[in-house]
Amino acid sequence: MGETKYVPSGGLAFTEEQDMKKLSDYAKEGWILAGFAPLGYKLIKGTPQNLIYCVDYHKDVDEEYFSLFEAAGWAHICSQGNEIHIFSAPAGTTPIYSDKETLMEKYEREKRQMGKWAVPFLIATLVFFFLSGMLPKILGIVSMVLGLICFIVLIFSGLPYLAYLVKLNKLRKQ
Amino acid sequence: MPRNDSLEMGELTDTAYYILLSLVEAKHGYLIMKFIEDLTDHQFTIGPASMYTTIKKLLSSELIQLCADEDEKRKTYIATDKGMELLKKEVERRRIMVQHAEQIFKSKGVL
């Protein structure tokens, strides 16, 4: 196998456009996206190409989904959990979202997904932190630890949730 | 559901309008894209993600339906009676909108 390179991602919720631009720049130098890697992307050395990259979020898609992309000139590169999909196409190909309504739905779907985690864990975090102050020693410590665990989950869902909220507001104003 | 959902409001987005229009006759996804490109002389192209999202939405609103004799990769769709009804209403709405513009243009001598 050829040379490989690892490129970190800023987190798709925060740096989607920058990530895709970066992958496109690498492709011009001959580093072609091969798949996801932990917290980033794996590239393989090949021939330089003028490619554009796009990410789509869609849960439990069927074969029709991929055949539509293929027919439109977008090659499927990789997917994570049958939900996050990356495609590439020669520069100049029609974008995967051609209207604002469906583009906004892409981020609405992700926002809802994150909200499903963020809201209950926000409540759990608050409850555990409150209880840790009320309960006697050992139980208080247990409650504090549980609260911290919930807080970590809250960070990883709440921040993307806010990022999508900002993105949607920007789109709405356009 | 997202706010300003035009399907719920009984109006069609341009994308939904053209998809529904091409499904007066049964077609599968790729043919819908080709049909719309040919029909509009490449003035209106629908991206695959917009196409997939809108097809799913038209399906769940029962404006289109899957045809029998199924094949996972080439699902074929056709407009339902409800879809045809909405399409006709939509065409009428758009016709009136164009008429309004023509009236104004005529009276102001724009055309």
The Cα B54–Cα B60 span in angstroms is 10
- Indicate the pLDDT class of residue A156, thresholds 50, 70 and 90: very high
Residue A119 has pLDDT above 80, yes or no: yes
Q: Which of A57, A60, A29, A55 is nearest to A43 (CA)?
A: A29
A173 token code pair: 């104003």
Q: What is the pLDDT of residue B3?
A: 44
Conformational region of residue B62, where left means phi above 0, alpha means psi within -120 to 50, and beta covers everything else? left
Angle at A56 between CA B60 and CA B80, to 5 degrees: 20
Residue A1 has pLDDT above 90, yes or no: no
pLDDT (tens digit per residue) in A37-70: 999 999 999 999 999 999 999 988 988 999 999 9
By Cβ distance, the residue of A69, A104, A106 closest to B48 is A69
3-state secondary structure string across B72-102:
HHHCEEEECHHHHHHHHHHHHHHHHHHHHHH
The Cα A109–Cα B53 span in angstroms is 11
Our CA-based measurement puts residue B3 at a distance from the nearest CA of chain A, in whole angstroms, of 10
Q: What is the pLDDT of residue B4?
A: 47
CATH architecture type of domain B14-108:
Orthogonal Bundle (1.10)
CB contact under 8 A, A71 and B53: no
Sketch the domain layout of chain A as residue ranges. Answer: 4-90, 100-173
Contact residues on chain A for B6, CB-CB shorter than 8 A: 101
Sketch the domain layout of chain B as residue ranges. Answer: 14-108
Residues 6+ apart with CB under 8 A from B6: A101, B12, B13, B16
Contact residues on chain A for B52, CB-CB shorter than 8 A: 58, 61, 64-65, 68
Give the N- to C-terminal CA distance of chain A in Å, as an integer.
46
Contact residues on chain A for B74, CB-CB shorter than 8 A: 64, 67
pLDDT (tens digit per residue) in B13-36: 999 999 999 999 999 888 999 999
CB contact under 8 A, A98 and B15: yes
Chain B residue at shortest CA distance from A69: B48
Chain B residue at shortest CA distance from A71: B30
DSSP secondary structure code for residue A127 in this structure: H
* A74 contacts chain B (CB < 8 A): yes
* A18 contacts chain B (CB < 8 A): no
Contact residues on chain B for A67, CB-CB shorter than 8 A: 29-30, 73-74
Contact residues on chain B for A94, CB-CB shorter than 8 A: 45, 47
pLDDT (tens digit per residue) in B44-71: 999 999 999 999 999 999 999 998 766 6
Tell me the percentage of chain A whose pLDDT exceeds 70: 99
Contact in structure between B26 and B74 (CB atoms under 8 Å): no
Q: What is the pLDDT of residue B1?
A: 41
Residue A21 has pLDDT above 80, yes or no: yes
**How much is the ipTM here?**
0.86
For residue A169, give the amino acid letter.
N
By Cβ distance, the residue of B13, B48, B72 closest to A72 is B48
pLDDT (mean) for A114-122: 94
Q: What is the pLDDT of residue B73?
A: 60
Conformational region of residue B69, where left means phi above 0, alpha means psi within -120 to 50, and beta covers everything else? left
Our CA-based measurement puts residue B63 at a distance from the nearest CA of chain A, in whole angstroms, of 17
pLDDT (mean) for A5-32: 94
The Cα A43–Cα A6 span in angstroms is 6
The Cα A74–Cα A69 span in angstroms is 5
